[in-house]
Structure 1
Amino acid sequence: MSPEQPLWQEILGGESKTLELKGQLPKGNQLAKTLIAFANSSGGKLVLGVNDQRQIAGVQTDEFELMDQIASIAHDQCHPSLMPTIYLETLQGKTLVVIQVYRGSQLPYHLRAKGRDAGTYIRLGATNRQASLEMIHELERQRLHQSFDEQTAWDASLQTLELAPLQRAFEQAGKPLSTARMRSLKLIRTEQGQDYPSHGLMILLGQYEQVEIKCSRFKGTNMTVFLDKKEYRGDLFSQLEGSEAFIKNHLHLKAEIHGLQRTETYEIPIPAIREALVNAVVHRDYSNAGRDIKVGIYDDIVNIVSPGGLPNGLTLGDALAGRSEIRNKVIARVFRELGYIEQWGSGMARIRDLCQQAGSDAPTFAETGDFFDIEFHRTEAAATGGSIGGEIGGEIGGEKVVQAKLTHRQQAVLALIEQNPRMTHQEMAAQLGINASALQKHLNKLKAAGAIERIGGTRGYWKVNV
């Protein structure tokens, strides 16, 4: 066996958004769930004959009967029916069955027995997740090649909207905002002879609760203690300005003298920060209320997290290679018109190039569950570094400070609760890949630290205090 064999390299990398490994054929409807999740997401491969330690064990039953069984499951249990590519591959002298599923065109795919609302699954990281109703609607829009921000905001009145921030942005770009331009950009939709704003216009003006950027400066290298916090609402342009100013306020300046000239530069190039903020605003998922963009500044990194992950089946490798998929077509057109975007698909490459030109470390890009992360590595750690342990209490800048050292797992639990305060124990445990008792220990630790509290009983929700 050649160590360069592509499938072997994929197996060594472990399970991912596009790869699942099983020792034998999954029982019940688990195989159908995986095939559906791949078809609704970025496609992928399910490899049978690899154990939990990524060792090649081979399939233990008749390969051809197994392939027929898989084809029947894909046809009978999935709706619309799937036709995956099923083939055999030999590694280390043992036979594997590979099931290749491509992203489908008849979205959303679901379990025939459960129906669309309860039987639709998507791939998040290396797990299959039941799709929320918002995600199902997004998959339907993708099938129709529509975006949420292009659709009509039926409950809004165009006459009562304050358009001044948008008009100002266009005037600064030397492009007056006429009614005709607003129609061509799909900011205005005419339905049954009456003009309505699109969701895109409402988002640009900051009219929805989820249109927000939350910025925090934490002490040390985790979310245990925060030193400063700001929440920016209103139109997207003022949010970008406020967020950039917040980040600048918490970065170090370094001074260099060339001849008689003294120049000061930030430890992370501001154009790269600005590009990352624009990317987050343009490409995030606005269809799901209750989620926002978060900027976290730590002693070692600046982290920008936007909800929604990569759009329309895009993988991280695709995005880094320059492939572009636009989730928010109206917002993207406006930002392109105003010069915030130079060319489609260039954002990540531009961020990397700007950091390289400034002599900064390359940023880290990651898709974590249903979020997209950009981490800028700070060149000068703050003098206060480290995490804080001890008692709960105190205030900094008028805000409550929780002083307790949290593990990475507890931080992950906290992030899930922030994403969905009503998420059940079972859902959290499944997403984290741990059992219920281990999850309960993490929740108890977070409650003891004052990081979270339970509001209501079994039908209540979690409140985050940090």
Structure 2
Amino acid sequence: MVWGVQDGTHDIVGTSFDPAEAKKGNQELESWLLQLLNPRLHFRFYPVVMEQGEAVVVLEIAPAFRHPVQFQGREYIRVGSYKKPLNGFPDRERALWRALERTPFEDGVAAERVSSDDVLRMLDYPAYFRLLGANLPPGRDGILAALAEDDLIKPCEAGGWNITNLGGMLFATHLPDFPTLSRKALRVIKYQGTGKMFTERELSEPRGYAASFEETLRLLNSLLPANEVMGQALRRDVPMFPELAVREVVANALIHQDFLITGSGPTVEIFDNRIEVTNPGEPLVDTRRFVDTPPKSRNETLASLMRRFNICEERGSGIDKVVFQVEFFQLPAPLFEVPPGFMRTVLFAHRPLAQMTKADRVRACYLHACLKYVSREPMTNATLRERLGISDKNAAAASRILGEAVDAQAIVIEDKEVGARVRRYLPYWASPQPPEEVVV
């Protein structure tokens, strides 16, 4: 939208409208508009002074993504020179929904009409070739052609290049250069103690996910608490959390987030006794079925590229690895939570079995059953003792935990006629008659 240009003749006449000073009631105009939009898409006012001194204001509005944008709870459409409610034009509404559903986030434009030199400045192209294990092309045209081949950039009809959301999100040298993506930068927050009262350190990674992934992991591992272990001659620090588990959880948060949710991005929060990794968007798979369900991603192109960069596998085995690593280190089972509009994974530091809650024990038992089932191995009292570090002479303790999990209907007994010491157990969903209500 443009203020200061006359309709019809397009003569520049100037305007007295000043978006910085404009208010709606007692509220600034931009703030008022933003809170009434759903989703809160990016827009920006540009005041311009022309050669003859006329003031012109341009409003740039990001395109809708996935579904039409609502203002005060209603969608609108332009019909001729009039604004009309979208639901009054069902044919156009259907066509609009089809168009939006066919346009994935990755194909959106993060920066428009960018020169070739600015493309190479705004994107970390050396990281792209390094992650692919390919040699850097000798000339600029070869570099641009390779970036275009993977849809990181696309030719712009008005000249130059468009940097796609895919290119900006993965390889931006400075995400704040892309207004629609800047809030998606990964935040890392380290707290003192087990609560959020005192922040020890807070960082925001300004580069794209793929370009900065390995360095981000090194930073995380340097911030994570460690235990000091005395060897035969020297002391050494042993990480409290398995590095592979941390890698998989962070990669999942980056790849499977819902980019449509504006104003928030993936966050890693580090406490003395746990790590919490949160991303916008509720998961497409029931959290209780993470171990056995084939992968689903709302960002398929991004996930495919991250697989080629060996950052993720796209085989659905990421959570399996997390659970396996947690069991190998004999840590409490990971917790998968779904706050409204978000996904959170919690990894816990070591805690003795005596200090685990009933919910902790049931969750550990259930995930152990899931991991064994997908590995085509039986879960028994003996395997649970090994998982939880219970001595053989305390088999009764493992039996009590199995009983708690059975009562919670998280696991089922494969054959009730078999003696308790040699019984096999299945996750609830593997039973011929799964229970209706499960507590996990």
Query: Greater relative contact order: 1 or 2 (C-alpha under 8 angstroms, separation 6 or more)?
Result: 1
**TM-score, normalised by the number of residues in structure 2:** 0.49
Say which one has the larger Rg. Answer: 2
